[in-house]
Amino acid sequence: MSTAEASLDILCEKSLAGDARAEAALFEALRVRFLPIAKRRVHADQAEDLVQDTLKIVFDRYGSRNEGQGILVWGMTVLRNVIGNHYQSRNRERERIDFVDELPRDAADAHDPFSDLQLADTRRLLLDGIAQLAERFPRCGRIFHHLLHSLEKGGGPQEVSTRTLDLVRREDPDMNRGRFYTALHRCRAQLRDVLAGMDKGLSHD
Amino acid sequence: MTERRNCDLLAAYELNILEEAERRLFETHLPDCPDCLEELFAHAPVVTELLREPGLYAGRMTRPQSDPSLWNRLAAIFRRQPARVVAPLLVAALLAFVVFLPRNEASPFPGLARTDAPAYSVIPVRSGATADWQPLWQEGMLLYVAEEFAAAAARLEQAVPLLEQAVAADPHQRRHLDNARFYLGASRMLTGDADAAVPPLEAAATSHLPPVRQKSLWYLAQVHLLQDDPDGALAVLAPLESSPVYGPRARDQVAAIRSAR
């Protein structure tokens, strides 16, 4: 399989094994996918720099990430942190010199419930969110339940998905792989809606 | 495959369960789909957290009373071979009648027990302290809040001996130990293991803190009722009758036990 035909995670495996061509291909593939996201949030001339910073961190640390997570999604979390740090330093600069810069018009301004949260808060919000999901959308609750249990048991992507699909088929014998992916996608959207609708305040009595 | 169908792979992609060819297909689609890219970016912390401890979140998804899987399976079998469903159900009903009903008639006390889960609220605080029992306690109580009582009990069982060592070194840690014992006892009770719930609840009932002591006594009384031991329950309820918090319900329960006799 050539580097052009391999998925990002295969490129990642090859890179970790010392394949320089795979590493270059992975670098470029991630850059192409990160850049549009960064450009929607910061000035275009800063976007390249932020993506470079992100890639530096990704390549520095991708060997130590959670093995169950794909390189692209993990890289997205790094990009979020880098952009978040950029905003923070910009805000500090604003306070210092009393100068207000304008963000690009199309900068994403929707509230992100995870933007200001530490790990414990994220976990708490997610625990509440998925409990609500299971209550409001029981089928989604069951699909996620089987999938997460299967992920907990471990194994490669095919092993995890096949195991999950077998469990889902016990309740829905007509389910095939394509329908399962679609159902999972809809349940993910439901989870996103539930999380977005939850109160951002995380006070617990 | 259409754009719409490609986007449908998003959830499976981010949870890393696609096969290599499917993954490649979705990644090829990504640079031309700003919506999918934005979705991946926005949802990345959720996915990272789900994959960090999938078992914890799987437990939170469980709602056994609303899980129709067994019912669906039975219904499917019933449609094909009704006798395979009816016959075991008849046997089970007969067994229930023979085994359980006479016992319930003979002993009303387990039915008097109030086994609602004692409340616990998670209060996120940032602490620099990292005692060895703390991660187990925190995990245990997150599982408890998620109503994963067996898993919660397993964590708390590990935390209690560590807390006993901590108390030996620093008696001020006692309140943590009492709390851990209480929720260990409650978790065991809630998994239906009344016998195993007694020792930690008895130990927590010696707490110097009245709230912990009193709630431990209350749940100890419920466990004794589950064990069909009304005398044990009455002995434990006696000191609670004067409690401003547990007094009314303790007096009601004492009256109910005496009446049932």
Interface test with A, best of B38, B60, B77, B147 (most A CBs within 10 A): B60
Q: Please tell me which of A3-17, A77-91, A182-196, B128-142 the model is most confident about, judged by mean pLDDT.
A: A182-196
Indicate if the pLDDT at residue A25 is higher than 70. Answer: yes
Which of A54, A118, A123, A143 is most worth mutating to test chain B (most B CB atoms within 10 A of its CB)?
Answer: A123
Q: Residue A95 pLDDT > 70, yes or no?
A: no
Whether the per-residue pLDDT at A118 is higher than 90: the answer is no
Q: Which two tokens stand for residue B131?
A: 């005692």
User: Would you state the pLDDT for residue B57?
Assistant: 87
- Tell me the residue type at A9: D
> How far apart (Å, rounded) are the C-alpha atoms in residues A48 and A45?
6
Confidence band of A29 (pLDDT split at 50, 70, 90): very high
- Which residues have CB under 8 Å from B38's CB, separation 6+? A37, A40, A108
Q: A97 pLDDT band (50/70/90 cuts)?
A: very low
Residues sharing a CB contact under 8 Å with residue A163, sequence separation 6 or more, in sequence order:
A150, A153, A155
Which residues in chain B are contacts of A161 at CB distance < 8 A?
12, 17-19
pLDDT on residue B232: 93
Q: Which residues of B touch A3 (CB under 8 A)?
A: none
Distance CA(A90)–CA(A107), nearest Å, equals 15
- CA A88 from centre of chain: 21
* Same domain, yes or no: A43 and A89: yes
The pTM assigned to this predicted structure is 0.52
Closest CA to B190 of B232, B237, B234, B145: B145
Q: A106 contacts in B (CB within 8 Å)?
A: none
Residues, chain B: 261
- Sign for the pseudo-dihedral over CA of B31, B36, B41, B47: negative
Statement: residue A27 has pLDDT above 50: yes
Q: Across chain A, where does the E strand assignment appear? A: none
Indicate whether A93 and A140 sit together in one domain. Answer: no
Look-up: residue for tokens 């520095």?
A60
Question: Does the distance separating the beta carbons of B40 and A73 come in below 8 Å?
Answer: yes
Average pLDDT score, chain A? 80
Does one domain contain both A7 and A93? yes
- A118 in the same domain as A146: yes
In a domain, A188, yes or no: yes
Are residues B54 and A160, on separate chains, in Cβ contact within 8 Å?
no
Residue A107 lies in a domain: no
A53 with A86, same domain? yes
Answer whether B60 sits within 8 Å of A127, measured CB to CB. Answer: yes
CA-to-CA dists, residue B82 to A173, B94, B137, angstroms: 19, 18, 48
Angstrom distance (rounded) from CA A86 to CA A83: 5
Tell which residue, B145, B140, B144, has the closest CA to residue B163: B140
Q: Span A96-124, mean pLDDT? A: 50
**What is the reported pLDDT for A108?**
37
Residue A123 lies in a domain: yes
Together in a domain, A118 and A198:
yes
Spatial contact of A57 and A27, defined as CB atoms under 8 Å apart = no
Q: Which of A66, A74, A63, A72 is nearest to A17 (CA)?
A: A63
CA distance B109 to chain A (A): 33
* Segment among A158-172, B17-31, B103-117, B246-260 with least mean pLDDT: B103-117
DSSP B72: H
Let me know if residue A106 belongs to a domain: no
Give yes or no: residues A116 and A91 share one domain: no
Using the structure block, give the residue that is written with the tokens 């919000």.
A125
Token pair for B116: 């609602």
Q: How many Å lie between the alpha carbon of A158 and the closest alpha carbon of chain B?
A: 6
Are A144 and B7 an interchain contact pair (Cβ–Cβ within 8 Å)?
Answer: no
Q: What residue of A is the nearest CA neighbor of B32?
A: A33
A35 is a domain residue: yes
CA distances from A12 to A22, A74, A160 (A): 7, 12, 20
Find tokens 């194994």 and name the residue. A155
Same domain, A7 and A95: yes
Query: Which chain A residues are Cβ-neighbours of B70 within 8 angstroms?
Result: none
Instruction: Please tell me the predicted confidence (pLDDT) of residue A204.
Output: 33
Instruction: Tell me, yes or no, whether A105 lies in a domain.
Output: no
Contact A37 B38 (CB under 8 A): yes
Burial class (CB in 10 A: 0-12, 13-18, 19+), B93: exposed
DSSP secondary structure letter of residue B227: T
Percent of chain B exceeding pLDDT 70 equals 78
Interface with A, mutate which of B15, B27, B39 (most A CBs under 10 A): B15
pLDDT of residue B120: 75
The pLDDT of residue B67 is: 45
- Cβ atoms B69, A168 nearer than 8 A: no
Same domain, A125 and A190: yes
Check CB contact under 8 Å for B69 and A195: no
Q: What confidence score (pLDDT) does residue B64 get? A: 42
Question: Of A78, A100, A122, which closes a domain?
Answer: A100
**Whole-number pLDDT of residue B72:** 58
Split into its structural domains, chain A has a count of 2
Angstrom distance (rounded) from CA B182 to CA B205 = 8
pLDDT digits (tens, 9 = 90+) for B54-79: 888 887 776 444 444 555 555 656 65
Contact flag B18-A161 (C-beta cutoff 8 Å): yes
| Identity of the amino acid at B198 | V
Ramachandran sector of residue B55 (left: φ over 0; alpha: ψ -120 to 50; beta: rest):
alpha
pLDDT in tens, B177-231: 999 999 999 999 988 889 999 999 999 999 888 888 888 999 999 999 998 999 9
Give how far Cα B13 sits from Cα of B25, B32, B80, Å: 10, 16, 37
Least confident interval from A73-77, A146-150, B96-100: B96-100
Whether the per-residue pLDDT at A10 is higher than 50: the answer is: yes
Q: What is the predicted pLDDT for the residue at B188? A: 92
CATH of the domain at A22: 1.10.1740.10
Mean of pLDDT values over B100-123: 70
Domain final position from A65, A100, A135: A100
pLDDT confidence of residue A193: 87
Would you list the DSSP string of B121-139? -----------THHHHHHH
Domain final residue, candidates A66, A100, A134: A100
pLDDT score at B100: 54
Among B13, B24, B51, select the one facing A151 at the smallest CB separation: B51
Could you give the ipTM of this predicted complex? 0.81
User: pLDDT of B75-96, one tens digit each?
Assistant: 656 655 666 666 766 776 666 6
Residue A118 belongs to domain spanning: 112-204
A44 and A74 part of one domain: yes
User: Which DSSP symbol is given to A84?
Assistant: H
Q: Which of A76, A142, A178 sits opposite B44 (nearest CB)?
A: A76
Domain co-membership, A75 together with A23: yes
For chain B, the 3-state helix, strand and coil shares in percent, each to the nearest 5, are: 75, 0, 25
A60 shares its domain with A145: no
A77 found inside a domain: yes
Q: What is the mean pLDDT of residues B145-161?
A: 90
Residue A5 has pLDDT above 90, yes or no: no
The closest CB to that of A185, out of B11, B38, B126, belongs to B11
- Domain membership of residue A171 (yes or no) is yes
